[in-house]
């Protein structure tokens, strides 16, 4: 379970380019739930995700995962509980390492790394079997450099890597945004399958309202650094993109009105 409470984060405080990225952002994701997160540019989606992963330190507030306080922990320490797939397909894998070396790295996510060989025969067979499920023929290319793969292939491998080791939370950061539509659909389908298979608690940030409604059990909309809309269950099932858009316009209007009140 992820429990983020009252997160505040301001970039460049005290300067003309001061930006309040998170303003009292709170979100609780119960174990096993798949939540999609949407919001316009600058709404704080990526900042929130980075705050949870540890790449961005928050000014105040607390982040707990399954009751463990993560607020002050560095990225590498949180990795024990948090798996992540990046937006940039090149960011989630090491291009200089082979496919099997990348997977071996992920296999040890958050565990003590010792002096035993990283890729052992039994492990190689496990990786081969996992890769075969992708249907991309990668199971025959274990010792190829991952830099030789296309963005979509690398993103698919990143997803597999995220599930090689149990995690308490899976973070997906617009992980289909940089792919062509067909590959994006493939990677999304793979995401749904892997999340279901491993019953992962998942937070997926997406730029697409369609995608946000199609997958997962709950959709959260961010605006100006906090949650402004939170739908799940029956209400969400009947929703379409235009409903979301209407609600978004309404929310944005209200927020603008709030600002007007403040300014007058």
Partner 1 sequence: MSLYTLLGALEIGLIFSLVALGVYISFRLLRFPDLTVDGSFPLGGAVAATLIASGTDPFAATVAAMIAGAVAGLITGWLNVRLKIMDLLASILMMIALYSINLRIMGKPNVPLIMEPTVFNILQPEALVDYVFRPLLLVFVVLAVKLLLDGFFATQSGLAIRATGSNARMARAQGVNTGLAVLAGMALSNALVGLAGALFAQTQGGADISMGVGTIVIGLAAVIVGESLLPSRKLYLATIAVIVGAIVYRFFIALALNSDFIGLQAQDLNLVTAVLVTVALVVPKLRQHWSGKKGG
Name the site residues for partner 1 (rule: CB under 8 A).
53, 55, 74-77, 79-80, 84, 86, 91-97, 101, 104-106, 108-111, 113-119, 145
Phi, psi of 5 (to 5 degrees): -125, 125
Pairing of strands 202-205, 169-173: parallel
Min dist. Cβ of residue 130 to partner 1 (A): 16
In the three-class reduction of DSSP (H, G, I as helix; E, B as strand; rest coil), residue 21 is classed as strand
Min dist. Cβ of residue 145 to partner 1 (A): 6
Min dist. Cβ of residue 188 to partner 1 (A): 21
Q: State which residue, 88 or 214, has the beta carbon closest to partner 1.
A: 88
Min dist. Cβ of residue 158 to partner 1 (A): 9
Tokens (6 digits) for 150: 């296309």
Q: State which residue, 27 or 83, has the beta carbon closest to partner 1.
A: 83
Min dist. Cβ of residue 238 to partner 1 (A): 37
First-to-last CA distance in the chain?
41
CA torsion through residues 30, 179, 187, 93, sign: negative
In the three-class reduction of DSSP (H, G, I as helix; E, B as strand; rest coil), residue 13 is classed as coil
Q: State which residue, 105 or 255, has the beta carbon closest to partner 1.
A: 105
Min dist. Cβ of residue 252 to partner 1 (A): 33
CB 93 within 8 A of CB 37: no
Q: How many CB atoms lie within 10 A of CB 160?
A: 20
CB 203 within 8 A of CB 171: yes
Q: State which residue, 35 or 103, has the beta carbon closest to partner 1.
A: 103
Min dist. Cβ of residue 208 to partner 1 (A): 24
Q: Which residues make Cβ contacts (< 8 Å) with residue 100, sequence separation at least 6? A: 119, 123, 124, 127, 142, 143
Pairing of strands 19-29, 2-11: antiparallel
CB 26 within 8 A of CB 5: yes
Q: State which residue, 96 or 246, has the beta carbon closest to partner 1.
A: 96
50, 146, 166, 183 from 138: Cα distances, Å:
30, 10, 23, 15
Q: State which residue, 34 or 86, has the beta carbon closest to partner 1.
A: 86
Q: State which residue, 45 or 109, has the beta carbon closest to partner 1.
A: 109
């Amino acid at each position: 379970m992820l429990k983020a409470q009252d997160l505040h984060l301001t970039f460049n405080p005290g300067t003309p380019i001061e930006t309040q990225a998170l303003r009292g952002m709170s979100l609780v994701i119960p174990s096993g739930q798949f939540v999609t997160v949407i919001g316009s540019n600058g709404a704080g989606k990526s900042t929130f995700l980075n705050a949870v992963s540890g790449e961005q330190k928050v000014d105040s507030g607390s982040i707990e995962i399954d009751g463990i306080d993560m607020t002050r922990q560095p990225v590498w320490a949180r990795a024990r509980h948090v798996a992540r797939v990046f937006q940039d397909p090149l960011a989630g894998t090491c291009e200089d390492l082979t496919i099997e070396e990348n997977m071996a790295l992920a296999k040890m996510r958050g565990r003590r790394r010792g002096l035993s060989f990283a890729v052992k025969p039994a492990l190689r067979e496990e990786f081969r079997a996992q890769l075969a499920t992708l249907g991309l023929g990668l199971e025959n290319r274990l010792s190829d450099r991952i830099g030789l793969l296309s963005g979509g292939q690398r993103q698919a491998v990143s997803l597999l890597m995220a599930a090689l080791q149990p995690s308490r939370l899976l973070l997906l950061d617009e992980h289909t945004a940089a792919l062509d539509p067909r590959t994006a659909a493939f990677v999304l389908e793979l995401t749904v399958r892997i999340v279901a298979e491993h019953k992962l608690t998942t937070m997926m940030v997406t730029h697409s309202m369609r995608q946000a409604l199609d997958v997962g059990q709950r959709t959260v909309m961010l605006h100006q650094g906090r949650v402004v809309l939170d739908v799940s269950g029956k209400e969400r099932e009947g929703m379409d993109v235009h409903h979301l858009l209407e609600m978004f316009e309404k929310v944005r209007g209200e927020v603008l009105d709030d600002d007007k009140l403040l300014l007058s």
